Structure 1
Amino acid sequence: MQKKLSLFVASCVLLGMSACSLLPDKADETKNWSVTKLYSEARSEMDGAHYEAAIKLWEKLEANYPFGTYATQAQMEIAYAYYKTQDQAQALAAVERFIKLHPNHPQADYMYYLRGLINFNDSIGFLSVIYSQDPTERDPKATRESFAAFKALVDKFPDSKYTPDAIARMKYLVNAMAQYEVHVANYYYRRGAYLAALNRAQGAVTDYSDAPAREEALFLMIRCYDKMANLDLRDDAQRVFVKNYPNSRFLKPNAGKGGWFNFLSKKAD
C-alpha cells in the first residue's frame, strides 16, 4: 500500500512538471528591442516620473548595448533616476562608477554636481530634525560630503554652468556646519559642561570664520569663559565680539551698557 502511494505521488509530480513544460515561457518583451527602442521607452518612463521602470530599461540598454553613447547616457540616467527615487546609496554608486569610467566625459561636471545634490538633499533631512532631536546624536556627515562634492566640482570645473549654484550651496552648507557646532555647544553649556561647550564654540569660530553662526559661537565663548571664571579670556573675547558685532542681537535684550554682558561676573579690582 505504501509503495503504491509513493508511485502515485511520483506520477503526480511528473505530470505536473510535464504540464509546466507545455506552458509557454513568459517572454521578455524587450529581448529583441533595438537600442533606439530601449532608449525611447526608457526616456518615456523618465518623462512620466516612473523612475523604477526607467532604471530597469536603462540597465537593459547598457547590458545589451554596452558600448557607445547610448550606454554612456544610460549610466548617467541611472544615477539621476536613483537620485529621484531618493535611493542615496545606489545613486552615489552610479555617480562614482560613471566618474571612474568617464573622467573626461563632456558631462562629467554634471555628475560631480549630481553627487553634491544627492548628499545635499540628505543633509537637508538632517537639518530638518536638528531642532527636535538631541544634536549630539546626529552626525552631519552628509553635509560635509555634500560640501566636498561641490568643492570638487568648483575646483575641477570652475567654468561649468553648475558652478555658480554649487558655490551658493557651499555657502549654505558652511553655515549649516557652523550652526551644528553651535547647537552642540549650547547642548553642553545647558548641562554645565562648559569646557566641552567652549571647545565646540571655539571650533565654530575658527573653522567657519565667514559663517553667520560665528556670532553666536563667539558669544557662547564669552559665557563659557565667564562660567569657568577665566575673566581675562572672557574680556578678550568680549572685546572681539563688540568690535565685530556692534549691533548684535545679543547686546540688545537688556537695558544699559553691555546688554546681556551685565549678567557676567565682575572682575576683581
Structure 2
Amino acid sequence: MLRTPNWAAAIVWCALGGAMMALGGCASSTDVNSILNADPPEKMYADADALMNKGSFEAAARKFEDLDRSHPYSPEARRAIVLAAYAYYKAGKTPEAIASAERYTVMHPGTKDAPLAHHIIASSYFDDIRTANRDQGATRKALEQLKILKARYPDSTYARDAENRIRIAEDTLAASEMEVGRYYVKQKNFVAAINRFKVVVSDYQTTAHVEEALMRLTECYMALGVTTEAQTAVAVLGHNFPQSKWYHDAYALLKSDGLAPAQNNDSWITKAWKAVPKFSLGGPG
C-alpha cells in the first residue's frame, strides 16, 4: 500500500538542498563545512587571540575572518575584522591588511576601533615608502591616511604618532619633487622644473627643501627672463630664511643682473605664503 507523502518534510529538504547549492556556488566545501560546523563566537575569538599571542599571525587572521563569516552578527565579529587586519599586517601581508582595515572603516566608521583601522592602512603604506628617486604612490596614500587619522581622531594615540609620520612623508614627497626638478634644470627645461619646485613651495613649506626650491625658482625665472618672479622668490627666501646659504646664492644671482629682492603682490609665490602669520616681503637685511 502506498504511503501518503509528507509534503512539509519534502519542502524543508528541498529548501535545504537549494541553500547548500547556493553556498556551493560561491564558496568551497571547506568554507561551507566551516560555517555549518563553526564553534561558538567566543571560542573562535579566544582561539584567534591565542594564535596572535603565539606569533602565528596569518593563522590568527584567518581564524578572525572565519569568526566574521560564521557569526557576522555576534558582538565578537565587528572587532574580529580589525584584528584580522592587524594580524595580517603583523604577518607582512599588507594587501590583505589594507583590504580588511578598509572594510572595517566602511562598515564601522566612528567606532572605537576605527582609529586602529586607519592606523593599519596608513602603516601598511608608510612601510612601503621608497627613496626620493623612486615611485611615491605609497607615500601619497600613506600621507592621505595619516591626515584622515589626525583630523578625525585627534585625541587617539595613533594621531600623535601620525604627526611625525606626516612630516616624514611630506619630506619624502618634497625631496622627490626636488629630484625631478633638478633633472629638468640640467636639461634646461625650465618650465617643467618650475612646476616641480612650485609644488614644494605651495604644498611642503614646512620641509627643509623649501629653501632650495625658492633658490631654484630664482634660477629658472632668471633663465626665462621673468625677473619679477625671481625677485619675489628671493624676497620670500630672505624674509623667512635670512641665514640660509640658498638665500645668499639666490641674492647673488639677482645682484649679478643688477636686480634686488622685491615683492610682487600678484605672484603665486606671494599668495602661497599668505597663510604664514605676519608675513611681509622685503629686501635683504
> TM-score normalised to the size of structure 1?
0.73
Counterpart of 1:81? Answer: 87
Counterpart of 2:205? Answer: 209
Consecutive unaligned residues in structure 2, runs of 5 or more: 1-29, 260-285
Counterpart of 1:192? Answer: 188
Contact 1:51 1:84 in 2 (8 A): yes
Change (3 A) 1:43 1:211: same
> TM-score normalised to the size of structure 2?
0.69
Structure 1 residue 198 displacement after superposition: 1.3
Change (3 A) 1:191 1:265: farther
Deviations 1:136-164 (A, max 9, x none): xx442222222221222222222223222
Consecutive unaligned residues in structure 1, runs of 5 or more: 1-25, 252-257
**Structure-2 separation of matches of 1:265 and 1:247:** 17
**Structure-1 separation of matches of 2:70 and 2:34:** 14
Matched, 1:102 2:98: no
Contact 1:226 1:265 in 2 (8 A): no
Counterpart of 1:120? Answer: 126
Counterpart of 2:46? Answer: 40
Structure 1 residue 98 displacement after superposition: 1.0
Change (3 A) 1:85 1:187: farther
Counterpart of 1:248? Answer: 244
Contact 1:231 1:267 in 2 (8 A): no
* Identity value in percent: 29
- Give the aligned residue type for 2:115: D
Deviations 1:23-61 (A, max 9, x none): xxx9x8995644343323322221232222222222222
Structure 1 residue 259 displacement after superposition: 4.8
Structure 1 residue 182 displacement after superposition: 1.2
Structure 1 residue 230 displacement after superposition: 3.5
Cα RMSD over matched residues? 2.8
Counterpart of 1:255? Answer: none
- Give the aligned residue type for 1:85: A
Q: When the two structures are aligned, how many residues end up with a matched partner?
A: 227
Give 1:252-267 correspondences, 5 Å limit.
258-259=248-249, 262=252, 266-267=256-257
